[in-house]
Amino acid sequence: MTLPGAVRVVLLDIEGTTTPIAFVHDRLFGYVRSNLPQYVASHWNDAPVRDVIRQLNDERAPEGWNPIADPDALLGVVRDLMDRDRKSPGLKMLQGLIWEDGYQAGELRGEVFDDVPVAMRLWRSEGREIAIYSSGSEMAQRRLFESTAVGDLTPLITAFFDTRVGAKVEVNSYTKIAQALGQPASSILFVSDVTAELRAARAAGLDVVLSVRPGNSPQTDAHLFPAVSTLTGI
């Protein structure tokens, strides 16, 4: 397909779009599980972890859960959320903190498909902007793109959005992103591997494309969306 001239911003998902799902699930999530006990024990009284606990308590309060009162309780909550693959803002905050340590220590390095930097540089040469929208925290997104094998890609990216703007399956999230970018929704192209997200973005007025990568989950309504297997195919 050819990228329409009216598209001024390409909004990209990460997992299954710019980055292999295996890297996210195996390397990043595996790193959190391995380092979670030590991190919580070492940082229990630090302000960022207290913020995580407040966020998790707020999320859980409507369901009648007891507040998190000790490290073991926090470990139990976080493991449960990860096991259920919940898009919890508090969980994403804590994951981002642990990944930050990993990137700073050189134990983690971001991974993107080979076509990603090529497509990004092409779009920027055409005068288009690039933004990222992922359930992972903005900090985690930045660290991933800063540390790829081909160098720091963040200078090519105008903005990062996480679930603080709303869930990725909610129409209003994409309306907020368009407003933040200062662009009409119709001038933004959103690329994701999840059709529920594409439906929400389309309802908000964005153009959409389905990312079909190795390891991505089959989408039962994939036929309703234009699809590409590389970003250079847009």
Please check whether residue 2 lies inside any domain of the structure: no
Q: Among residues 104, 136, 171, which one ends one of the domains?
A: 104
CATH assignment at residue 129: 3.40.50.1000
- 3-class SS at 97? helix
Q: Does residue 91 contact residue 56 with C-beta atoms inside 8 Å? A: yes
144 and 62 in one domain? no
Residues 178 and 119 in one domain: yes
| Rounded distance between C-alpha atoms, residue 129 and residue 2, angstroms | 16
Question: At 61, is the pLDDT very low, low, confident or very high (cuts 50, 70, 90)?
Answer: confident
Same domain, 136 and 80: no
* Residue 4 falls inside a structural domain: no
**85/192 same-domain check:** no
> What pTM was computed for the model?
0.89
Of 72, 104, 136, the domain-final residue: 104
First to last CA, the chain: 5
Q: What are the tokens at 153?
A: 């890609």
14-23, 30-39, 82-91, 206-215: least confidently modelled range: 82-91
Query: Number of structural domains, the chain?
Result: 2
- Residue 65's CB: how many other CB atoms inside 10 A? 13
- Lookup result for tokens 């297997």: 229
Give dist(CA 172, CA 6) in Å, integer: 22
What is the rounded average pLDDT for all residues in the chain? Answer: 95
* Residue 79 banded pLDDT, cuts 50, 70, 90: very high
pLDDT band at 152 (very low <50, low <70, confident <90, very high): very high
pLDDT value of residue 2? 67
State mean pLDDT over 82-88.
90
Domain residues for the domain of 82 are 25-104
pLDDT digit string, tens, across residues 91-143 = 999 999 999 999 999 999 999 999 999 999 999 999 999 999 999 889 899 99
Q: Is residue 138 part of a domain?
A: yes
Statement to judge: residues 137 and 185 lie in one domain: yes
Query: What percent of the chain shows pLDDT beyond 70?
Result: 99
